[in-house]
Chain A
């Protein structure tokens, strides 16, 4: 297992490099929230989820909804790494005619289940998927990744209430709690704490982890699968911009790509040789 964790950590490092290069090329997109979410996305795509890049519509697949759709680059690099489309496509992110839209679009990108990007809507769709799969007696699980700022949207709590009410134990939500949003600290803009207690109050099983500790992420995802009769939320405390020291914990890097000058420094931080 230890080797597996090391492999996943290396995969996440590689995907961070891809995120930085992709966003540098597009010169548009969300760096901080992509880097904070990538460890969880790595664990989902390369450890936990059953999926097949050769058959994106495979009925046996688990579903993933990136509720915080602005972290699309993090999902795109994982999809490319998993083989859903060629890695060169990443260089077309956000360009006219590209299948990689600014925010996830299920009509455009293989492996994207539903469109997100307007915050607050993803968990409702994930809940609907979980209801439908359970209705058909299927074992597939549904994973939803939210931001902590996103929890300010009222619809999130409607969805949390419904998932608790319908006891959707095939649904696992993860909160990328990087504590920052566009206008500053989540706690100052509009405090959402305590997150885990709020979910518990709606009938959820709640876990809290360090969202950059790969072993902890894997453990939490494994544990979530064993919980019956209620959905699970994994509140993952993360660092916005994680891995690139001068991006870390800066709200100002929410929607800013790396500049030409920043790129080599960012790659150096990630242990990548700069060409």
Chain B
């Protein structure tokens, strides 16, 4: 059994480490520092932490101002507020000038759970992906989150990182090297490819193991950087396996599935099945129940694999 850690916890830990290494790093939160884990940084570097109160628009603008005088601001709140409430601030004050602001949103997707549809962001990847200059990253586990946050701090420019609330299994080795814009083949396979992001990559690995028992060889490609998309790894999968199943804890509209479909329809059309939230809002429930309810389990991926193979 692999270890379990929430990506938000990995973020808090890494941000605090980075704070010790680079005094230009500052953090901002909107009254959720205990949940987003920027509180870990705040405790160590109180003079470099700014609680902006429940006022996300001003928080994002303040971060842009801090970046304009040489700081490297990490801005955190829940995904629904970072992207929803402050969208135009992200667009105008951060992305348009290519400001060096890192928007690290936690509580993405339906696994927010009990708080319900108001708090479950299922559109954030699509919205951020549509903004020019923006890089969009959705790590799969704690190891990748740590590496990604370090890469994001070193990268000059705006980034949106989407993290989750709950503990997820660790699927990457400790010495994993993360590179912005690079996908990662988790498992070889020739019959079809799961192209997945975030916590759905662990589900895809489980689904591939299940399919292997039936003699179906499913490749698993993890895409942490949804924008810019690693076109080559996706096109190679399409050429070599001829069928793609995408999976994300997000709407099937505009996220990873959208990005992959857009690429393939122009460059190498093959059958694609998109797994995700099917143009609906979230609802209250336990995280595990909700993954089942919205069809985001390994069983759903096995079913999708059979479907895409029928279309091949």
Listed from nearest, the 4 A-B pairs whose CB atoms lie closest are A128-B65, A124-B61, A158-B58, A132-B69
Do A128 and B66 touch across chains, with their CB atoms under 8 A apart? Answer: yes
Known: A115-B92, A162-B58. A125 touches B69 (CB 8 A): no
Do the beta carbons of B50 and A131 come within 8 Å of each other?
A: yes
Which residues of chain B are near A63, meaning CB under 8 Å? 68-69
Provide the bound-state CA to CA distance between A102 and B310, in Å.
Answer: 54
Known: A131-B65, A135-B71. 12 other contacts (CB 8 A): A63-B68, A107-B96, A121-B61, A124-B64, A125-B68, A128-B69, A131-B62, A154-B57, A155-B89, A159-B61, A159-B62, A161-B53
For A132, give its contact among B61, B71, B89, B98 (CB under 8 Å): B71
Task: Write out, one digit per residue, whether chain A residues 105-140 have a CB within 8 A of any chain B CB (1) or not (0).
Answer: 111000001110110111111111111110110000
A115 touches B70 (CB 8 A): no
Kindly state whether residue B52 has any CB partner on chain A within 8 Å. yes
Question: Once the chains bind, are B57 and A155 in contact (CB under 8 Å)?
Answer: yes
Q: In the complex, A117→B97 CA distance in Å?
A: 13
Q: Is the CB of B96 within 8 A of A115?
A: yes
B65 near A125: Cβ-Cβ < 8 Å: yes
Partner of B97, one of A114, A133, A158: A114
Q: Which one of A123, A125, A135 contacts B48 once the chains associate, using CB atoms below 8 Å?
A: A135
Contact A107 B55 (CB under 8 A): no
- Residues from chain A with a CB closer than 8 A to the CB of B205 are none
B93's contact among A124, A161, A162, A166, by CB below 8 Å, is which? A124
Contact A121 B62 (CB under 8 A): no
Provide a sorted-by-A list of 20 A–B residue pairs whose CB atoms are within 8 angstroms. A105-B96, A113-B68, A114-B68, A124-B89, A125-B65, A125-B68, A127-B65, A129-B66, A129-B68, A131-B50, A131-B65, A132-B68, A135-B48, A136-B69, A155-B61, A158-B52, A161-B53, A161-B58, A162-B52, A166-B50
B52 contact set on A, CB distance < 8 A: 158, 162
**Interface membership of B153, Cβ < 8 A:** no
Report the separation of the CA atoms of residues A133 and B68 in the bound assembly, to the nearest whole angstrom: 10
CA distance A130 to B64 in the complex (A): 12
Distance in angstroms between the alpha carbons of A121 and B91 in the assembled complex: 11
